[in-house]
Amino acid sequence: MTDARLTLANPLHDIVIELRNLCRDGEFSISAADAGSVERIATHITNIGVSVVASTQDHVNASKRLNDFASALARIARNTAPPNEAFNARMALIGLKLRDLGGQLAEGDKIPEWAASAAYG
């Protein structure tokens, strides 16, 4: 018998993969500086994922950081030259996911199911 929690995808991991793919696949034209910023954000998101699985102590800070990253990604998307609606839409969706996950972390002092499943998966 398998525990359904073990099969849940870790949304922070999925976001990191999506961000890295957006910057590496060459489909979208973003500056090297912005690509570097996105890579650093992806690294921070990875670290947040590890932190929220290990303890509930940093959930408030993690929530704030995820919201900050959502804002930073929106700013990067707006600054693409030439403007690219597809890139902006994908970045906006990532931002919404980050804000949603941050909201889940801010709700209480327990580890969300998605984070708990990441500890075992």
Domains in the chain: how many in total?
Answer: 1
pTM for this prediction: 0.83
Q: Which domain holds residue 79?
A: 4-120
Q: For the residues 76-96, what does the mean pLDDT come to?
A: 88
What the block records as the tokens of 27 is: 């489909």
6-56 pLDDT per residue, tens: 335 678 999 999 999 888 867 777 888 888 999 999 999 999 988 888 888
Q: Give the angle 105-18-120 at the CA atoms, nearest 5°.
A: 50
pLDDT score at 101? 93
Place of tokens 């839409």: 89
pLDDT score at 83? 77
Q: How far is the CA of 14 from the CAs of 81, 83, 91, 108, 118, in angstroms?
A: 26, 25, 13, 23, 12
